[in-house]
Amino acid sequence: MTTDSTPAGAPPDPTRLPGAPTLPEAALHVAGTRRPAAAGATRPVVDPATGHLLMEAPEADAADARAAVAAARAAFDDGPWPRTSVQDRARLLERVADAIERDRDALAWLETLDTGKTLGESRDDMEQIAQVFRYYAAEARTMRGEVNPVPSGAVSLTVHQPVGVVAMITPWNYPLLQASWKIAPALAAGCTFVLKPSELTPLTTLRIVEMLEEAGLPDGVANLVTGAGGTVGAALTEDPRVDLVSFTGGIVTGRAIAATAARNVTRVALELGGKNPNVVLEDADLDLAADHALNAVFFHAGQVCSAGSRLLVHEAAHDALLERLLERTRRIRLGFGWEDGTQMGPVISPEHLAKVEGYVALAQEEGATLRVGGGRPTDPRFAGGTFLEPTVLTGLPHEGRVASEEIFGPVLTVETFRDDDEAHAFASSTRSGLAAGVFSRDAARAMRLAKRLRFGTVWINDFHPYYPEAPWGGFGESGIGRELGREGLAEYQETQHLYWNLEPAGADWFGPQD
Ligand code: TXE
């Protein structure tokens, strides 16, 4: 797969591989124009698998962010988009879905270069992203209000208005997927927006805004600023012209955003990840459970908000399940995302690698035993990247920090329980209730446990599937609000009551006195 000029054994320049795509333009998008950051600053964007420079992205500052908000505000207040018919909005969303499907491979390549995930995973992401645009096109076409029962002589209507200007702040693990969960419903609702991708992974977000412009979105509806969270993200969050901040990222940043937004009583929608238990009861199909347990935690090197990083196994099933897991974990092939046969890529950055390694060390300090992995691969091809071997630790204590905090890396911890009540208690030791799994052959027992678990999604005999039609979001500290589904559209809408008196008469209270 390497180019002729790449010395044997050295990591390839990923931008020169056969099939590698052209990069999007490194530009801010403000009011329909593409331009550099006003101060001229840039930031390197790096491939996490090799350390190669991919792009010098514009490094916007707070003034750029405010200019983008002004553009989105003007497009909302005076532009055509909020008043465009739902049929026309739906047609635009469908054109975007067509373009994503047309450019699926190029988009997938960009995502793989930027995030390190395998091309197969990136292609799946792109297919699902196209489906998200199609789903919200359908939602736009079928939007309904309500007629409320008031006395005759009047009409009372509940209608849905776009919420207004949205600041969208997205993370690095699923850059385009997370952005699409916000862009598609926001456009269906008639909103305008300023999008700020993670400074680590702006490539596919830059491309999608180009594609929205090509699809005919009016100027100023979709604005994009690249740059640091602490400056650009904060400037968006504190701007009173923003009506909603929709954020996906970590809990620490989520708290800060909620606090800042509260000053202007700006609405927030927060998806802050989770500590997601995967519970295997003793009557489960252990081959199925092992299969999904691996997928739950090693998919995209565990950098998934719903990663099933915490395996809770009934003590009677522990040894048999662990044997299957360890044997298969040892065979997981690390590699570059664009290479055939790669099953797991790097983590996103040196800082993140250090954080994940810190949790591996902490788990052992808390009393867990390292069973496989835990180190960096020794193959010199991976020296420029941020790879970590798939890791399994057993005997994790239920009450430590590792049992309740998100690791966000290829690290599986295993705990045991004795009965369903204990499984429930251990699974509930976190307030980050995004997703959980239950494996059992007893449908009623699995359903009973699933309903008790305070998590936004509970999968039974599966892990990870999600659909644009079904809501996504968490309980407790995992966030506020829902994405996808009807609920995901409602985040971008205000509910308005329209009351029309058909038989106008004077009000009684302050009318002429006798
Ligand atoms: O995320 P941040 P980080 C978790 C995961 C990870 C941890 C920290 O556990 O280890 O979060 O990751 C922008 N105002 N998740 O530090 O900071 C930032 O520029 C406004 C779970 O990389 O949350 C980026 O665009 N914005 C998660 C976005 O916030 C700010 C996915 C996310 O970055 C800001 C990723 C500020 N003050 C990490 N500071 C999930 N829910 O899936 C930063 N940002």
Average confidence (pLDDT) over 180-207: 98
| SS (HEC) of 376-399 | CCCCHHHCCCCCCCCEEEECCCCC
Residue identifier of the C-alpha nearest atom 10 of ligand 1: 408
Assign 155 to helix, strand or coil. Answer: strand
Instruction: Mark residue 434 as left, alpha or beta (left: phi above 0; alpha: psi -120 to 50; beta: remaining).
Output: alpha
> What whole-number percentage of the chain has pLDDT above 90?
94
Nearest CA to 398 among 424, 361, 379?
Answer: 424
CA–centroid distance, 251 to ligand 1, in Å, is 8
**pLDDT computed for residue 510 by the predictor:** 79
* Ligand 1 and 243: CB distance under 6 A: no
Burial (0-12, 13-18, 19+ Cβ within 10 Å), 443? exposed
122 in Cβ contact with 231 (< 8 Å):
no
- DSSP element (H, E) containing 232: none
**pLDDT computed for residue 2 by the predictor:** 35
Nearest CA to 144 among 495, 469, 488, 467?
Answer: 495
- Phi and psi torsions of 82, nearest 5°: -65, -20
Tell me the pLDDT of the chain averaged across its residues.
96
What would the pLDDT profile of 14-61 be if each residue is shown by its tens digit? Answer: 999 988 999 999 999 999 999 999 999 999 999 999 999 999 999 999
Average confidence (pLDDT) over 434-448: 98
* Ligand 1 and 237: CB distance under 6 A: yes
CA–centroid distance, 45 to ligand 1, in Å, is 16
455 in Cβ contact with 308 (< 8 Å):
no
**pLDDT computed for residue 511 by the predictor:** 64
Asked whether residue 8 carries a pLDDT value surpassing 90, the answer given is: no
* Ligand 1 and 23: CB distance under 6 A: no
Round to whole Å and give the CA distance between 443 and 317. 18
What would the pLDDT profile of 241-299 be if each residue is shown by its tens digit? Answer: 999 999 999 999 999 999 999 999 999 999 999 999 999 999 999 999 999 999 999 99
Nearest CA to 203 among 22, 355, 431, 400?
Answer: 22
Round to whole Å and give the CA distance between 151 and 350. 66
318 in Cβ contact with 396 (< 8 Å):
no
**pLDDT computed for residue 7 by the predictor:** 52
Domains of the chain, first to last: 14-35+54-272+478-497 (3.40.605.10), 277-460 (3.40.309.10)
Q: The tokens of 116 are what?
A: 């390190």
- Phi and psi torsions of 327, nearest 5°: -60, -40
> What whole-number percentage of the chain has pLDDT above 70?
97
* Ligand 1 and 227: CB distance under 6 A: no
CA–centroid distance, 253 to ligand 1, in Å, is 6
What would the pLDDT profile of 326-337 be if each residue is shown by its tens digit? Answer: 999 999 999 999
* Ligand 1 and 248: CB distance under 6 A: yes
What would the pLDDT profile of 158-190 be if each residue is shown by its tens digit? Answer: 999 999 999 999 999 999 999 999 999 999 999
Round to whole Å and give the CA distance between 436 and 47. 31
Which are the contacts of 309, defined by CB distance < 8 A and separation ≥ 6? 275, 276, 296, 297, 302, 406, 407, 408, 411, 412, 413
Residue of 43, 169, 194, 199 to mutate, ligand 1, most atoms within 8 A of C-beta: 169
What would the pLDDT profile of 324-363 be if each residue is shown by its tens digit? Answer: 999 999 999 999 999 999 999 999 999 999 999 999 999 9
Residue identifier of the C-alpha nearest atom 44 of ligand 1: 229
Which are the contacts of 230, defined by CB distance < 8 A and separation ≥ 6? none
* Ligand 1 and 406: CB distance under 6 A: yes
Nearest CA to 2 among 22, 20, 17?
Answer: 17
What would the pLDDT profile of 442-499 be if each residue is shown by its tens digit? Answer: 999 999 999 999 999 999 999 999 999 999 999 999 999 999 999 999 999 999 999 9
Average confidence (pLDDT) over 374-378: 97
372 in Cβ contact with 36 (< 8 Å):
no
* Ligand 1 and 456: CB distance under 6 A: no
Instruction: Mark residue 485 as left, alpha or beta (left: phi above 0; alpha: psi -120 to 50; beta: remaining).
Output: left
Our CA dihedral for 90, 91, 95, 96, rounded to 10 degrees, sits at -20
Asked whether residue 153 carries a pLDDT value surpassing 70, the answer given is: yes
CA–centroid distance, 82 to ligand 1, in Å, is 30
420 in Cβ contact with 279 (< 8 Å):
no
- Residue 476 bridge partners (DSSP): 432
**Given pLDDT bands bounded at 50, 70 and 90, which one contains residue 1?**
very low
Burial (0-12, 13-18, 19+ Cβ within 10 Å), 129? buried
- Phi and psi torsions of 497, nearest 5°: -100, 120
CA–centroid distance, 408 to ligand 1, in Å, is 12
234 in Cβ contact with 253 (< 8 Å):
no
310 in Cβ contact with 275 (< 8 Å):
yes
- Phi and psi torsions of 11, nearest 5°: -65, 140
Residue identifier of the C-alpha nearest atom 20 of ligand 1: 233
* Catalytic residue numbers, as ranges: 271, 305
- DSSP element (H, E) containing 96: helix 86-102
Kindly report whether the global pTM for this prediction surpasses the value 0.85.
Answer: yes
Nearest CA to 49 among 17, 15, 5, 11?
Answer: 11
Average confidence (pLDDT) over 186-215: 98
* Ligand 1 and 273: CB distance under 6 A: yes
What would the pLDDT profile of 389-401 be if each residue is shown by its tens digit? Answer: 999 999 999 999 9
CA–centroid distance, 100 to ligand 1, in Å, is 26
**pLDDT computed for residue 12 by the predictor:** 81
Average confidence (pLDDT) over 410-418: 98
451 in Cβ contact with 475 (< 8 Å):
no
What would the pLDDT profile of 304-330 be if each residue is shown by its tens digit? Answer: 999 999 999 999 999 999 999 999 999
Q: The tokens of 382 are what?
A: 């991976």
- Residue 475 bridge partners (DSSP): 433
